[in-house]
Amino acid sequence: MNSNGLNEHWTASEARKNREIAIRKDERDKVLDILRPEVLTFALLMERKLRKHDKDRGDSYKITDVDYLLMRLREEVKELHNAIEDDPWDGKGVSLGESVDVGNISMMIGYHDYQFPMDVFIEELVAELHQAGSP
C-alpha cells in the first residue's frame, strides 16, 4: 500500500474503467422527483468536486484502505470546523466546500459497506422513498 492508502497494483485509470452505471435512464426522473433541492444540489457539488480529481484519482476510493479514508475524514472534519470557526458564514462558500469534502469522504467510506450492484440498491431506495411520499 502506498502513502495515499491505495493498493499499488491498481491505478486510478483502472479504477475509472470499472465505474458502475448506477442508475437506469427510466429511473432518473423518479429520483429527481423524490430528492429535496438541497440534497440534489449537495450531491451535484460532491460530483463536481470528484470530477475535478478524476484525471489523477478516478474511482480509486473503491480500492483505498478504509483506515486511510477514516484518517482523511478526521482531517476534513477538522478543516470544516476551522472554516466555520474562522469565519462562520462568509458567503465565499468555504464552509460549503469543506462540507462537500466531508460528504465525499463519507461516501467513499460508505461505498465499502455496500459493494453490491448499485442499480439494485438505487431501485430499492427509489421504491422505498416513493412509497413514503413527500417529506
Q: CB–CB of 112/66 below 8 Å?
A: yes
4, 2, 115, 116: which is closest to 57 by C-alpha? Answer: 4
Q: Which contacts qualify for 99-108: CB closer than 8 Å, 24 or more apart? A: 99/42, 100/42, 100/45, 100/46, 100/49, 101/49, 101/76, 102/73, 102/76, 102/77, 103/42, 103/46, 104/46, 104/49, 104/50, 105/69, 105/72, 105/73, 105/76, 106/73, 107/46, 108/61, 108/64, 108/69
Query: pTM for the whole thing?
Result: 0.74
Per the structure block, which three cell numbers stand in for 112?
Answer: 465499502
- Gap between the Cα atoms of 43 and 107, Å rounded: 10
Per-residue pLDDT tens, the chain, 135 aa: give them: 445 444 444 344 444 444 444 456 666 777 788 889 999 999 999 999 999 999 999 889 888 999 999 999 999 999 999 988 887 666 667 788 999 999 999 999 988 887 655 666 777 888 888 888 766
Question: Can you say how many angstroms the Cα of residue 14 is from the centroid of all Cα atoms in its chain?
Answer: 19
